[in-house]
Amino acid sequence: MPISRTRRVQHKVHIPSSARENQYLLAKFAITDSLIERISGPVDHSSEQPFLPFYKKLSEIFFKINEELDIESGQFVANDKFARIRFSPEKITAQTDQQILFLYNSRYHFSQKAYFDGKKQASKIHLVFLSNGNEVRHDSAIFHQKVVKAITKFTEQSGMAKDEMRICDHQHLTYDLFAKDKGVQGNQVHKLRSISNRYAPDEISIPENTDELTYAIVDMPINRRLRNLVKLDDSEGENYNPLYNYIADAFMSAAKKHNLNNGALIANGLVPIVRRSEDESTVAKGELMMIGYNPKSMNSGYTCKWVAEELVDSVHFVFVASEQDKTSHGYGKFLNQIESVLHSIAQKLKYDNDKEELIVRFHQHIGFYRE
């Protein structure tokens, strides 16, 4: 095969036909006294639910705009919980102390709902716009454009300035690395171009102040077979250090072998949340493990976090793309490298590919303020 063709192949990634697609946009803004005054007038603190009029009127503006623009799934979240969106064959909305999870199938599930407590003033509101349709990734530019139009209308009708609201566009591809071993036929071919490059043909311009972040989180369930790979010393209570060290060694050596230099292993029962940050950081915040990365950094290295006394349901591998991982073609080569790392890990852990899963979730995010 000619060298030029070989290089083109390296930049294409083949993922299973069963891969699930998600896109959602978040608009985030702070609740200020002036905003409350504009929307619902003075707060009646003698009322049992003093903030109910504010939430109801503002959410009505949101839902009315969605109806006008034919946005079928929108969530008004004003309870200071972290919003997470995932694909699911069943429509489920679940809440924990810190999180609100929207699980849905973009083809079949639709909803418009508000989440707030009229007794409390939240610090921020998140407007969540969930994409619907059969070709979520293909139609992502159209959905983005529609949502930005809705946000523009919302800011105008609520009297907010452009710089008061941050917009984030999140897109996921999720699949089992070993889907083919389980009988899934066919695949999809992607170059995984950046969001801004995919939107350019539709003449959608992304503001210059846009932050971009690309990464993958891989979930590896811990079953009895994996637990029995190493001898555990339970003479002084539960101690899973040998197991986590064994997995970490497989992870680190494979990442180094395939030239991936930014990431983490999380095995402490917390949900890894990756965000762009000037300084690298890994901080536990309740149920969440906040992981900050600067894409300009090429060699941030790997962080491993676990609790020796706790056996987790899943270990999470995190791979974060630096600016050097983005080629003129996109992030296809980056995901191919990740898959090579995972195959090396699976081989070291003696994976049973037709029975065990490695769930890859490839994330592409942009965040910006309207200009």
Angle between helices 33-40 and 140-158 (to 10 degrees): 80
* pLDDT, position 6: 44
Who contacts 322 (Cβ-Cβ below 8 Å, separation ≥6)?
261, 262, 295, 296, 297, 298, 300
- 246 pLDDT above the threshold of 90: yes
Q: How far, in Å, CA of 105 to CA of 86, rounded?
A: 9
CB atoms within 10 A of CB 313: 10
Predicted pLDDT at 236: 63
250 phi/psi in degrees, rounded to 5: -65, -40
pLDDT of the residue at 169: 98
- Strand ranges, E, within the chain: 13-16, 20-30, 74-78, 82-87, 92-95, 99-104, 112-116, 124-130, 166-176, 187-190, 211-221, 262-267, 271-276, 281-285, 288-293, 301-306, 314-320, 359-369
User: What residue spans define the domains of the chain?
Assistant: 3-15+213-364, 20-172
Question: Mapping DSSP to helix (H, G, I), strand (E, B) and coil, where does residue 136 land?
Answer: coil
Structure token digits, residue 120 = 């409390």
Q: Quick check: helix, strand or coil at residue 80?
A: coil
Taking residues 38-66, report their average pLDDT.
97
| Cα of 195 vs its chain's centroid, Å | 14
Q: Which residues of 324-338 are buried (b: 16+ CB within 10 A; e: fewer)?
A: ebbbebbbbbbbbbb
pLDDT at 301: 82
Answer yes or no: are the C-beta atoms of 102 and 83 closer than 8 Å.
yes
Torsions phi, psi for 60 (to 5 deg): -65, -40
Q: How confident is the model at residue 2 (pLDDT cuts 50, 70, 90)?
A: very low
SS3 189: strand
Q: How many CB atoms lie within 10 A of CB 275?
A: 14
What mean pLDDT do residues 159-168 have? 96
| Percent of the chain scoring above 90 in pLDDT | 85
Question: For residue 300, what pLDDT is reported?
Answer: 73
The structure tokens listed for 26 are 């978040």
DSSP letter assigned to residue 42 = S
Count, residues in the chain = 371
The reported pTM is 0.93
Instruction: Lowest mean pLDDT of 112-116, 170-174, 236-240, 332-336, name the range.
Output: 236-240
* Arithmetic mean of pLDDT, 241-258: 96
Band the pLDDT of 233: cuts 50, 70, 90. confident
Per the prediction, the chain carries an average pLDDT of: 93
Residue 278 is predicted with a pLDDT of: 84
What is d(CA 242, CA 240) in angstroms, rounded to the nearest whole number? 6
pLDDT at 209 (0 to 100): 86
Q: What is the pLDDT of residues 309-356, one digit of tens each?
A: 999 999 999 999 999 998 888 999 999 999 999 999 999 999 999 999
Q: What is the pLDDT of residue 89?
A: 92
